[in-house]
Amino acid sequence: MRPLSIEGAWVMEPRVFTDGRGGFHEWFKEGDFGTATGYGLGLAQANCSVSARGTLRGIHFADVPPGQAKYVKCVRGAVLDVIVDIRVGSPTYRRWEAVRLDDTEHRSVHLAEGLGHAFMALTDDATVVYLCSTGYAPQREHGIHPLDPELGIDWPADLAPLLSEKDAAAPTLAEAERGGLLPDYEECVAWQRELQARAVEGRRTPAAIPVQH
């Protein structure tokens, strides 16, 4: 896993083995993930979305704590995946970074709690799967308009973006900040330190030994 320019975001670039039968790669490795983040991926929900070419989903995020970390992969077609730093007080606040995810290079991205996430389908039937650290909770979920000119995300110019009604009605980053919706950078860092401390404590605690009856 290679860190991106936004703290809390990584890209996983697997080695892909191919032969006459097809291909094989490891798209998630707990050891590599833990080494990069300092804690494990607490899997609570796995999602799959299929999108027509030009579909634009996001920018989505959740209240921290607990937030919702995501590990994202495109298993069919291709998408432009974008991670946005929306944590107020972050050194990279408002920065975004894009990674192409497709069924050729088989990259995955991970974004920690508090970061915003969006993607645009570059092909028809683009299929994205993502592992989530917490389950869907509507009362904690928020969005920012993905075409906010203040963010200036460089979406493909040759595609007309297709948004859901909810995403099209989402506030701009400035409106979300004024409304107190955005995560606080220090709170996000404190939460991730708490997760790291829990992981260390878990490694120190001996596993329970089953009792034979």
Q: Which residues are catalytic?
A: 60, 130
Structure tokens at 198: 């829990």
Give residue 10's identity as a one-letter amino acid code: W
Distance between CA atoms of 172 and 193, rounded to whole angstroms? 29
- H or E element at residue 46: strand 45-51
Closest CA to 63 of 154, 172, 141, 120: 141
Task: Write b or e for each residue in 81-108: b if 16 or more Cβ atoms lie within 10 A of its Cβ, otherwise e.
Answer: bbbbbbbbebebbbbbbbbebbeeebbb
Distance between CA atoms of 193 and 206, rounded to whole angstroms? 22
